[in-house]
Amino acid sequence: MIYFAIFYLTIFHFFPKLPRQESMAPPNSIAHRAVVEHLVRQSVYQRLSRPLPRAASAPNPLVVNVSARHCHLTQEAVEALFGSGHTLTPFKWLYQDGQFAAKESVTLIGPRSRVISNLRILGPCRTLNQVELAYTDAIALGFEIPLRLSGNIKGTIGAMLMGPAGFFEMPEGVIRALRHVHMHPDDAEFYEVKNGGEMQLKIGGPCALILEKMLVRVDKSYKLEVHIDTDEGNACNLQPNTPCELTK
Amino acid sequence: MIYFAIFYLTIFHFFPKLPRQESMAPPNSIAHRAVVEHLVRQSVYQRLSRPLPRAASAPNPLVVNVSARHCHLTQEAVEALFGSGHTLTPFKWLYQDGQFAAKESVTLIGPRSRVISNLRILGPCRTLNQVELAYTDAIALGFEIPLRLSGNIKGTIGAMLMGPAGFFEMPEGVIRALRHVHMHPDDAEFYEVKNGGEMQLKIGGPCALILEKMLVRVDKSYKLEVHIDTDEGNACNLQPNTPCELTK
């Protein structure tokens, strides 16, 4: 009964037209499904005068997103690849405020000369160049990549990037990003964890699994969001309606 | 101390020369690492007069193998692809007795005309044609595949296979195989599970995870072995020395 009510309210009350994840949109104009469900869940339990389950009493909804392979670039690299003075154009806004997938993509040429086309650039530009791949991608390219916290690229393998205006050589920076959860200090307090700690993510459905050793990253600018890669997302076939639970 | 002893005995006592997983070999001439470790662990604990931990007291070692994409074919399909009268040639013997990766591979042409080259055939021939892919493979091919128990292919999508002697059209049979564990009735008794039941596999290491809903398949001909696909294997970066634990 409760689940039906949640479904009904979600579909017909909040979304007269269902949002399309692929569409381009200004920041936060379309609420993430998990955000709407969180609000609806709280509202339904309140109306039915039933106590809130643990997940619904959290200060913020849990959003789990799969990061497909991508890169972060410096402005210098963007200009080498796309031309002098070029700036990235937002294609799709991401859940973390101000972050976006750019219209621009590059071709990655690995150390064994195998390529990955259409490697998406995430913006805005950063102070370092980093490529984040899944292990399946690295195997296809024919080399090994280390598991690293994003930003910690010292001593990692490099690659060549190719854009419409030229090449850019990365001497290092190809990694698999450590699975992690972004959260606000309010979330950290609710889950009783600290920055740098570890949590588990229990993912349901027919290919259910529990991801362990998920790094906690706490910052006032962060919204509660788990980032996993395509290997992890495909291992459990993560879909927008797959139940997820974050535990210590 | 115990771990060092296990390592020492494994490396120098049982393997004067380390086995190479890639090498071609007749059935069971080279023991799987997990098999040797299991024997060594039992022996070391016995010599040190210490009680056996739960895993070491199991009747059989736990072997976990990643199945990369592959296909099972009928003899009719093999002849259409490789020529009249052609039979599969073993390239590498698998852990289950009599099963092998064949020297022969085919090209898979998906419904959107994208291809996967060098799709390995597993032998011996079966009574049905089935292609087993990871979700990452299916996404690369541009279509969706269902999660199915191996052999249950009714109503699934098909594909075209191409070999050196011709084409073979599969009207159905492309699936992601349900993660599963093969076991002998002795193992089923030890783990207190039945054929068709479910277990969990806890995989350690830096990308640790727990795979749930692993189907139990019991048969007198089976050796204890978990089969996961490349998405699952890469999600946890499964290596020969990654600790694995099977639980109910």
CB B165 within 8 A of CB B82: yes
The residue that leads in pLDDT, A45 or A198, is: A198
- Tens digit of each residue's pLDDT (9 = 90 or more) over A131-159: 999 999 999 999 999 999 999 999 999 99
Q: Is the dihedral of CA B216, B221, B226, B229 positive or negative?
A: negative
Residues of B in contact with A234 (CB under 8 A): 134-136, 139, 231, 235
Kindly report the nearest CA distance between residue B229 and chain A, in angstroms.
8
CB B214 within 8 A of CB A236: no
- The pLDDT of residue B88 is 98
CB A180 within 8 A of CB A147: no
| Closest chain B residue by Cα to residue A206 | B213
Kindly report the nearest CA distance between residue A196 and chain B, in angstroms.
15
Q: What average pLDDT does the segment A97-106 reach?
A: 97
Q: Does B139 touch chain A (CB under 8 A)?
A: yes
Mean pLDDT of chain A: 88
CB A119 within 8 A of CB A168: no
| Closest chain A residue by Cα to residue B68 | A136
**Which is nearest to A167 in space by CA: A63, A70, A44, A81?**
A81
- The pLDDT of residue A26 is 47
Q: What percentage of chain A reaches a pLDDT higher than 70? A: 88
- The pLDDT of residue B19 is 34
Q: Which residues contact A225 (CB under 8 A, 6 or more apart)?
A: A63, A64, A65, A95, A96, A181, A182, A183
Q: How far is B131 from A177, CA to CA, in rounded Å?
A: 31
Q: Give me the long-range contacts of A57-60 (CB less than 8 A, separation at least 24).
A: A58/A187, A58/A190, A58/A191, A58/A224, A59/A184, A59/A186, A59/A187, A59/A190, A60/A183, A60/A184, A60/A186, A60/A187, A60/A223, A60/A224
The residue that leads in pLDDT, A19 or A214, is: A214
Q: What average pLDDT does the segment A65-84 reach?
A: 98
Residue with tokens 């109503």: B155
CB B198 within 8 A of CB B119: no
CB B234 within 8 A of CB A136: yes
Residue with tokens 């969990």: B200
- The pLDDT of residue A203 is 98
Write the residue in A206, A208, A232 that is nearest to B235 by C-beta: A232
Q: Does B235 touch chain A (CB under 8 A)?
A: yes
* Beta-carbon separation of A234 and B136 below 8 A: yes
Single-letter amino acid, residue B94? L
- The pLDDT of residue B32 is 79
Could you give the C-alpha distances from A111 to A131, A143, A155, B172, in angstroms and in order? 13, 8, 15, 39
Total Cβ atoms within 10 A of residue A106:
26
Q: How far is A149 from A179, CA to CA, in rounded Å?
A: 8
Q: How many CA atoms lie within 13 A of B167 on its CB side?
A: 8
- Tens digit of each residue's pLDDT (9 = 90 or more) over A1-34: 444 444 333 333 333 333 333 333 444 456 778 8
User: Which residue numbers in chain B have pLDDT < 70?
Assistant: 1-30
- Tens digit of each residue's pLDDT (9 = 90 or more) over B94-153: 999 999 999 999 999 988 889 999 999 999 999 999 999 999 999 999 999 999 999 999
CB B236 within 8 A of CB B212: no
Weakest mean pLDDT among A49-53, A71-75, A228-232, B124-128: A49-53
Terminal alpha carbon distance of chain B: 30
Quick one: residue A63, left, alpha or beta (phi over 0 = left, psi -120 to 50 = alpha)? beta
Q: What ipTM was reported for this prediction?
A: 0.83
